[in-house]
Amino acid sequence: MNEIINPNLKNVFKITEEHLEKVFKKKPIKKILFINPPDVDESIFDFDVAKRGRSNNYPAYGIGVLASKLLDKGYIPKICNLNHQILKLVQSIKKASDFDFIESWQKEVDQRIYEFMPDIIGVTCTFSVTHPSFKKVCDYIKSKNPDLPIVVGGVHVTHDLEEILKSVKSADFAITNEAENALDQFLDVVNGKDSCNSLSQLAFIFKKNFYNINNLSLPTDAELDLIPLYEEMDIQSHSEVGTIGSFFSLIKPESKIATIQSNRGCRAACTFCNVRTFHGKGVRQRSVDSVIEELKMLKQSYGIDHVVWLDDDLLKNERRAAHLFNEMIKNNLNMTWDATNGVIAKSLHNLEVVDAAEKSGCVGVNIGIESGNPKILRDIRKPGTVDTFLKAADVLSKFPKINTRSLLIIGFPNETFRMMFDTIKLSEEMNLDWNNISVLQPWKNTPIYDQMTEEGLLGDQEGTLKTEKNEVSPYQLGIYSRQRAIEKGLIEQSVFGEKQGLLSGFLNRIEISDLDDVPDNKFLDDIWFYMNIRLNFSRLMRETRISKVNQQFKFLEYVSTKTAPDNALIVYFYGYLEKKLHGSVSPELKKRLQTILISSEYWRVRFEHFKLNYSQFLNEEFPERILTGGIPLDFRGQEKHLFEFPTNKIA
Ligand code: B12
Ligand code: SF4
């Protein structure tokens, strides 16, 4: 394959012209239909989760702004969000057996094309996990409409460009990165208003060769002052049929939720993250006035009560952030908001910013921490140190109305047990309200992916971690979580309960010398489980601040009904908080836990290991602390030596 990266080569433009002519046949473009495929395909889609309203349903913001830009330029854009349409449809259907996932989205596509008769289709793909669904949508459209040109774009497309164009043959062109300018230029060229040398960010396959005009034409600060084409987005009904953001349990259940973006890019360049490679260096900012105008529109025209920021670095410019939040207060928007995507800890040291955030309606922030080990933090180029994180936690502890959560990752290259214990230690010292722990997922076009490829740390299947037996672990699928997949026997990743299993011996068998070993990747899911129970559930037993107990209760209430009603740990601890706050555990919950434990060996093994007892639960008795191997899970503040060297003292 040739990769032509010099856009000044005459040859590329000649070939581009030839390909344009072949695809568009000189037909002018006026009407463009943007399509957002379902987040996942039929093999992963879970009807019951969708029915409970717990599938992610983010508005298609990226194609929303592209549509807005094209409307300004005189085109007629329309948006078809298949993920949203599927979730809406599920609400009107009683049971999974009455629902045909594939037929549903195909019908929607057919109808939209039939009614609108577009001149071109633009399909977006944000996540690599969406690839199979994205490919099916593109291929289906082409099979039914062979003469309809398809252009694709989005984060996933940008990061695996050549492979995607090779595998999704129905895509005629790809436009990479942020496409406000590049798509506009492309359509101008197709319509004969401009010549090929004005093109940027364009790739395609022609006669089996890959061509990539890869000069960037990213929108400037001023060009970001664009409000998505909301009238095409059915924005008011997204949160009625799905979930947006992580803090939904803390706002009124009937609240209407939307998303909004004020910045593009991030000051940092963490090695596992796609943001720097996608947005380029630094952060570009919309004007505060334009953001406020959008918020007012969301409130006044669509009744939105809560927004989730899409920014990767919301607080980059602290003065601007404080100004933005103060403007929200001044304009009396009466909205709440959260930063699900995570903010950079250092900016939380600024009391003025956090104070304005809380007063302007902030109910929750995630903080990107990833690790508590200084070497790992340096290796992954995280913008923060253990001290920065501790200070941020200290500031946030003065604002208890804000629910605070960390984002942690385990399984970095060469990360030892001891390094993971550093993460446990830091989290326990920070004492945030919850810790979202993930197993590392190496994404293409990130420095960590290249490093791990070089070091032979990846499995055979795309983007997976290698294990002793070369088994592979599939992508993490957000709400369709790994734990759930393991529990349901869909992936055999966990070794919990095996004789040599890690958790069954986590505290008893690991010698000090082992602490400097790098665990085999097959243990990561069990370490994840251990950390989750230790850092989140066990911690609930120490929480004494009533406002925080209330937040946790609402969170577990939501999770135990919507997200994971069949997760025994969540049901158990929801019962624990129910007893603590309301004096008793509801009979329905007791029944539910019993049913789960009878039917699931996965949960029985774990309950036994952590000495969580169903008969005691029935009698509404709870231990003071969770034990493992006879040792309290949490040594915080008392037995630091045990905490740091868990096995030394235990034999
Ligand atoms: C908000 C967000 C989410 C939301 C959902 C967003 C959604 N469904 O739209 C939530 C929180 C649910 C989420 C979840 C996940 N996310 Co996320 N998320 C983001 C985030 C922060 C912003 C995306 C966004 O809305 N941007 C704003 C709009 C304006 O930009 P845009 O959509 O990219 O659109 C522009 C261009 O892409 C292009 N474009 C877009 N569409 C099209 C179409 C055409 C035809 C053309 C020409 C151009 C074009 O033009 C647009 C305008 O400039 C990105 C980071 C980032 N900066 O991209 C990560 C990101 C996309 N997420 C990422 C990941 C890894 C995940 C998870 C897998 C995490 C996990 N372990 O669970 C899950 C997967 C969810 C799932 N499907 O199961 C990675 C993706 C890596 C990858 N290769 O897949 C990113 C890049 C972050 C990172 N750390 O690297 N995420
Ligand atoms: S701070 Fe967050 S968004 Fe920025 S590079 Fe690191 S992980 Fe990505």
The finding on whether 126 has its CB within 6 A of some atom of ligand 1 is: yes
- The residues, ordered by sequence, that sit 6+ positions from 123 with a Cβ below 8 Å of its Cβ are 34, 35, 36, 37, 134, 137, 138, 141, 150, 151, 152, 153, 171
Once rounded to an integer, what is the mean pLDDT over residues 318-322? 98
What tens digit of pLDDT does each residue of 613-635 get? 999 999 999 988 776 655 555 54
The lowest-confidence range among 396-405, 436-445, 492-501 is 492-501
Residue 3's pLDDT band (cuts 50, 70, 90):
very low
d(Cα 249, Cα 566) in Å, to the nearest integer? 18
- H/E stretch holding 527 reads helix 524-532
Shared domain for 394 and 281, answered yes or no, is yes
Q: pTM of the full predicted structure?
A: 0.94
**Contact residues of ligand 2, CB 6 A cut-off:** 266, 268-270, 273, 275-276, 312-313, 342, 344, 368, 383
Once rounded to an integer, what is the mean pLDDT over residues 347-352? 97
Query: 192 lies in a domain?
Result: yes
The finding on whether 310 has its CB within 6 A of some atom of ligand 1 is: yes
What pLDDT is stored for residue 286 in this prediction?
Answer: 97
- The residues, ordered by sequence, that sit 6+ positions from 124 with a Cβ below 8 Å of its Cβ are 34, 35, 36, 37, 60, 62, 63, 152, 153, 154
Task: Please list the residues that pair with 78 across neighbouring strands.
Answer: 33
Task: Please list the residues that pair with 209 across neighbouring strands.
Answer: 206
What tens digit of pLDDT does each residue of 352-408 get? 999 999 999 999 999 999 999 999 999 999 999 999 999 999 999 999 999 999 999
Among 261, 264, 276, which residue has the most ligand 2 atoms within 8 Å of its CB, making it the best to mutate?
276
Q: Which residue owns the Cα nearest ligand 1 atom 22?
A: 310
The finding on whether 66 has its CB within 6 A of some atom of ligand 1 is: yes
Shared domain for 380 and 279, answered yes or no, is yes
Query: 529 lies in a domain?
Result: no
**210 Cα to the center of ligand 2, angstroms:** 30
Shared domain for 163 and 74, answered yes or no, is yes
Residue 644's pLDDT band (cuts 50, 70, 90):
very low
Residue 581's pLDDT band (cuts 50, 70, 90):
very high
Is the pLDDT reported for residue 531 higher than 60? yes
**279 Cα to the center of ligand 1, angstroms:** 12
Shared domain for 250 and 158, answered yes or no, is no
Q: Are 580 and 565 in contact (CB under 8 A)?
A: no
- The residues, ordered by sequence, that sit 6+ positions from 560 with a Cβ below 8 Å of its Cβ are 567, 570, 571, 574, 589
Shared domain for 400 and 288, answered yes or no, is yes
Shared domain for 277 and 201, answered yes or no, is no
- The one-character DSSP state at 645 is S
- H/E stretch holding 108 reads helix 101-116
Closest by alpha carbon to 228, among 275, 188, 180, 181?
180
% of the chain surpassing 90 pLDDT: 74
Query: 118 lies in a domain?
Result: yes
C-alpha separations of 583 from 35, 281, 459, 557, 621 in Å? 50, 54, 50, 16, 11
Is the pLDDT reported for residue 431 higher than 50? yes
Query: 627 lies in a domain?
Result: yes
- Domain range for 634: 543-644
Query: 71 lies in a domain?
Result: yes
- H/E stretch holding 404 reads strand 403-410
What pLDDT is stored for residue 491 in this prediction?
Answer: 67
Q: Which two tokens stand for residue 432?
A: 């945030």
Amino acid at the residue 393: A
Shared domain for 253 and 361, answered yes or no, is yes
Among 313, 365, 446, which residue has the most ligand 2 atoms within 8 Å of its CB, making it the best to mutate?
313
What pLDDT is stored for residue 393 in this prediction?
Answer: 97
CATH code: domain of residue 421 = 3.80.30.20
Shared domain for 192 and 249, answered yes or no, is no
Closest by alpha carbon to 563, among 437, 478, 476, 439?
478
Helix, strand, coil share (%) of the chain residues, nearest 5? 45, 15, 40
**271 Cα to the center of ligand 2, angstroms:** 9
Is the pLDDT reported for residue 597 higher than 50? yes
Pick from 193, 213, 233: which residue ends a domain? 213
Is the pLDDT reported for residue 245 higher than 70? yes
Shared domain for 328 and 395, answered yes or no, is yes
Once rounded to an integer, what is the mean pLDDT over residues 480-496? 68
Shared domain for 329 and 277, answered yes or no, is yes
Strands 202-206 and 173-175: antiparallel
Q: Which atom in ligand 2 lies closest to the alpha carbon of residue 342?
A: 2
Query: 442 lies in a domain?
Result: no
The lowest-confidence range among 290-299, 339-348, 361-370, 512-521 is 512-521
Is the pLDDT reported for residue 147 higher than 80? yes
Query: 651 lies in a domain?
Result: no
Residue 217's pLDDT band (cuts 50, 70, 90):
very high
Is 375 or 457 the better-scoring residue by pLDDT? 375
Q: Which runs of consecutive H residues, i.e. helices, occur in 303-438?
A: 318-330, 351-359, 374-379, 386-396, 417-430
Q: Which residue owns the Cα nearest ligand 2 atom 8?
A: 273
Average pLDDT, the chain: 89
Q: Which two tokens stand for residue 320?
A: 């601007």
Shared domain for 126 and 270, answered yes or no, is no
What pLDDT is stored for residue 517 in this prediction?
Answer: 82
Closest by alpha carbon to 250, among 356, 365, 91, 347?
365
**172 Cα to the center of ligand 1, angstroms:** 22
Is 483 or 505 the better-scoring residue by pLDDT? 483
The finding on whether 270 has its CB within 6 A of some atom of ligand 1 is: no
Q: Which two tokens stand for residue 171?
A: 């895509």
What pLDDT is stored for residue 649 in this prediction?
Answer: 34
Q: Residue 601 CA to chain centroid, in angstroms? A: 30
Is the pLDDT reported for residue 645 higher than 50? no
What tens digit of pLDDT does each residue of 296-310 get? 999 999 999 999 999
Residue 472's pLDDT band (cuts 50, 70, 90):
low
Q: Looking at the CA of 380, which ligand is closest?
A: 2
The finding on whether 243 has its CB within 6 A of some atom of ligand 1 is: no
Closest by alpha carbon to 56, among 576, 650, 597, 562?
562
Shared domain for 327 and 421, answered yes or no, is yes
The lowest-confidence range among 206-210, 380-384, 522-526 is 522-526
Is the pLDDT reported for residue 28 higher than 60? yes
CATH code: domain of residue 107 = 3.40.50.280
Query: 649 lies in a domain?
Result: no
Question: In total, how many domains does the chain have?
Answer: 3
What pLDDT is stored for residue 526 in this prediction?
Answer: 79
Backbone angles phi, psi at 488, to 5 degrees: -85, 0
Amino acid at the residue 366: N
**368 Cα to the center of ligand 2, angstroms:** 7
Pick from 213, 230, 262: which residue ends a domain? 213
Pick from 172, 196, 213: which residue ends a domain? 213
